[in-house]
Structure 1
Amino acid sequence: MKIDWAALGSVFGVSLIVTVALVGLFTLGVVGLTKKETARGGTAALAATGAYVCFAACAAAVSYGIYLIVAK
């Protein structure tokens, strides 16, 4: 049995980067919702919109990952 270490390292690197990016994006969404509660006026609407965009991007990335798993 031969292990392709370059491919394994590549998969590990991409997985790590995508995981950190998704966690960061979700965190920005949570921070946006927190800022919405303390903000006033138009700033609250902007914070809420940004938070919902972050959550939608997270949902899209997870959906794409599930699609990739199921399609193969």
Structure 2
Amino acid sequence: MDIDWAALGSVFGVSLIVTVGLVGLFTLGIVGLAAKPAEGPSAGSGSVALKRTGAYVCFALCAAAVSYGIYLIVA
């Protein structure tokens, strides 16, 4: 039995990068949903709406990445 160490290292590296990226993206989504409206005279609702929209985009990208991974496994 012969192990292709270069291929194994490549799979490990790509898996590590994708996992850290996906967790970071999901974390950004959580932070965006946790945004509270600012208080004071210059408080606008646009900032919270923008953060919430960004959070939904992050979650959609996470769902797309997971769906693509499932597609790769099944295909």
TM category (shorter chain) comes to over 0.9
Provide the residue aligned with 2:26 in structure 1.
26
Distance, in Å, in 2 between the alignment partners of 1:26 and 1:70 is 24
Question: What is the rounded CA distance, in whole Å, between the counterparts of 1:39 and 1:22 in structure 2?
Answer: 27
TM-score, length basis structure 2 = 0.90
Query: Gaps spanning 5+ residues in structure 2: where?
Result: 39-44
**Structure 1: 5+ residue stretches without partners:** none
In structure 1, what residue type is equivalent to 2:25? L
Quote how far apart the aligned CAs of 1:44 are.
1.1
Give the structure 2 partner of residue 13 of structure 1.
Answer: 13
The residue correspondences of 1:1-72 to structure 2 (distance < 5 A) are: 1-35=1-35, 38-40=36-38, 41-71=45-75
Q: Determine the C-alpha separation between the residues in 2 that align with 1:39 and 1:28.
A: 17
TM-score, structure 1 length as denominator? 0.93
Q: Give the Cα–Cα distance (whole angstroms) in 2 for the partners of residues 66 and 48 of structure 1.
A: 27
Write 1 or 2 for the structure with the bigger share of helix: 1
Aligned alpha-carbon RMSD (Å): 0.7
State the identity as a percent: 80
The 1-side partners of 2:37 and 2:17 are apart by 32
**SS of aligned partner of 1:65:** helix
**Equivalent-residue separation in structure 1 for 2:51 and 2:68 (angstroms):** 26
